[in-house]
Structure 1
């Protein structure tokens, strides 16, 4: 078997049908199998999976872990390459898998790859802008990344972030490497923690812009505080990254970001009403981003009692595990 495609699922809804339909209609010379690991779905997810020739593994919700569940799915297959998708990531066309594996074979030292994320048509303005710009930074053609300047890697935070970026929404790794270095069993950023380790061990990763999936979110505004709290906790653990050293600096960053968003809104054709709507959206979301990011980034400085209080109030990851 050439490829094992692993998709963790839980209450995926109809979008999973689109994902699996796109996967099983790939035009590729590579043989592949699909492993779905479901952690307690109560909607139509299992019924959708059973429409397709998938290997379905069911686990209890409390057994789920971002790293260990993907390891479990990978262990069920035999493909030379392991591709990870999320249930809401839909391959854009029928050449996604062919492009991905071809890119992995460019250089024998490439042990991992990640593909482009395209926003869904209904994606909100700011995420569409940011998602497009983010992946454009990695190149317009297949591009290999490795540490080519150790001193820069140690000193340049942005350089480290670029080399460590990896996303299991749409990724691929060699099984021979995974058997030696499986994913860590962590609550957050298992993909980037793993990728950083591979980069620091001297391996290479490839960005394949032609291995495209639709993947974006329109989360309710009220959820962003908790999402950013967890995200910046993870970023500190991974990169020792802090969004701002003080609340005064944080306020300046917040105002600068809101100003930038407003300038962007003025640069595109919107009605007065929609400009006001999206400006309000920017005010609230950026407030949640910077406040949640500040709490999460400084989490390591707090007492154990305060950490428990903050997690109970703000951690979405904790809430999902309890659920």
Structure 2
């Protein structure tokens, strides 16, 4: 049965990658009915996007943007049974991205969300390239509540860099949390799984997306990640998390030795230390003065003042 699929893309000062994204979405084997672009106003937005067939642009003020509320607005702008969320810098790797991404949602009505495999950009460094392979392997998987003992927090892993949601389950769960600093995808995925639904990792659905973050940037991101988890104990409390990070560090170090690049291990240790410090501070953010919280966060506007 053919169903309508719409795409929602929040943007802020989109660049050439966004143009590539729109062009490749237009060549997908599964037809996309509408692409909803929710643009945070700035001094730059390509006017030609507003004239593209099937593209609907909604502009919002900078103070209106929120990771959860803005994406929830996207869901309310469409009546499609399946809605795909993407970021402006995620480029489809082929013409079958949407087909493969929505497939798990159509095969099993208990699957509330599906997320794509992220492949590294050509200029991605060795450590980040391995991290992508670790977090996004080449085998698909359906994750259920029963997997918590084995996978820990990775059971809840989902990424709105490229993810599809069934509207009916999305609405039953109340949608994305309307005010969140970060991590709206994992919060909702966790709620789905705890409620007895499933989340699919669709390895055959592939996007090109990666970043090479500095240690400082990793610190800020992990601080905000921990804040989001601390603010939602109903999802994350009691779920082991740090052990997965330790496993990634060990496997990355082993990989660097295997490819004979041991001089990168100090870089790995430094960036991993930044991640861990940011995460632990974020877990305890309520004990910190507001000025320190703002210093640690990458989302300073979230804290007001």
TM class by smaller structure: 0.7 to 0.9
Q: Does 2:176 align with 1:183?
A: yes
Q: Does 2:229 align with 1:235?
A: yes
Distance 2:91 2:203 in 1: 15
Q: Does 2:171 align with 1:173?
A: no
**Secondary structure of the structure 1 residue equivalent to 2:202:** strand
- Are 2:181 and 2:302, in contact at CA under 8 Å, matched by a contact in 1? no
Q: Does 2:81 align with 1:87?
A: no
Deviation, 1:86, is 0.7
Deviation, 1:257, is 8.0
Deviation, 1:18, is 1.3
Which protein shows a greater Rg? 1
Q: Evaluate the alpha carbon distance shift between residue 31 and residue 12 of structure 1 in structure 2; reply closer, same or farther with a 3 A threshold.
A: closer
Deviation, 1:281, is 2.7
Q: Evaluate the alpha carbon distance shift between residue 311 and residue 296 of structure 1 in structure 2; reply closer, same or farther with a 3 A threshold.
A: same
Q: Which range is displaced more, 179-188 or 167-176? A: 179-188
Which residue is equivalent to 1:290?
A: 276
Q: Does 2:171 align with 1:145?
A: no
Q: Which range is displaced more, 161-170 or 62-71? A: 161-170
TM-score by length of structure 2 reads: 0.86
Which residue is equivalent to 2:199?
A: 205
Which residue is equivalent to 2:22?
A: 20
Deviation, 1:42, is 2.1
Q: Does 2:220 align with 1:226?
A: yes
Distance 1:310 1:59 in 2: 29
- Structure 2 unaligned blocks of 5 or more: none
Alignment of 1:1-323 (within 5 A): 2-28=4-30, 30-43=31-44, 45-47=45-47, 49-50=49-50, 52-53=52-53, 54-136=55-137, 140-141=139-140, 143-147=141-145, 149=146, 153=148, 156=149, 159-180=151-172, 181-185=174-178, 186-236=180-230, 237=232, 238-240=235-237, 261-270=252-261, 276=263, 278-300=264-286, 302=287, 306-319=288-301
Q: Evaluate the alpha carbon distance shift between residue 51 and residue 14 of structure 1 in structure 2; reply closer, same or farther with a 3 A threshold.
A: farther
Give the RMSD, CA atoms, in angstroms.
2.8
- Structure 1 unaligned blocks of 5 or more: 245-252
Which residue is equivalent to 1:249?
A: none
Distance 2:204 2:226 in 1: 30
**Secondary structure of the structure 1 residue equivalent to 2:42:** coil
Q: Which range is displaced more, 86-95 or 121-130? A: 121-130
TM-score by length of structure 1 reads: 0.81
- Are 2:153 and 2:240, in contact at CA under 8 Å, matched by a contact in 1? no
The Cα offsets for residues 155-194 of structure 1, whole Å up to 9 and x where unpaired, read as: x3x5342321111111111122233322111222111111
Q: Which range is displaced more, 219-228 or 54-63? A: 219-228
The Cα offsets for residues 118-145 of structure 1, whole Å up to 9 and x where unpaired, read as: 1111112111101112222xx624x322
Q: Which range is displaced more, 89-98 or 119-128? A: 119-128
- Are 1:6 and 1:73, in contact at CA under 8 Å, matched by a contact in 2? yes
Deviation, 1:310, is 2.1
Deviation, 1:52, is 2.8
Deviation, 1:224, is 2.3
Q: Evaluate the alpha carbon distance shift between residue 218 and residue 12 of structure 1 in structure 2; reply closer, same or farther with a 3 A threshold.
A: farther
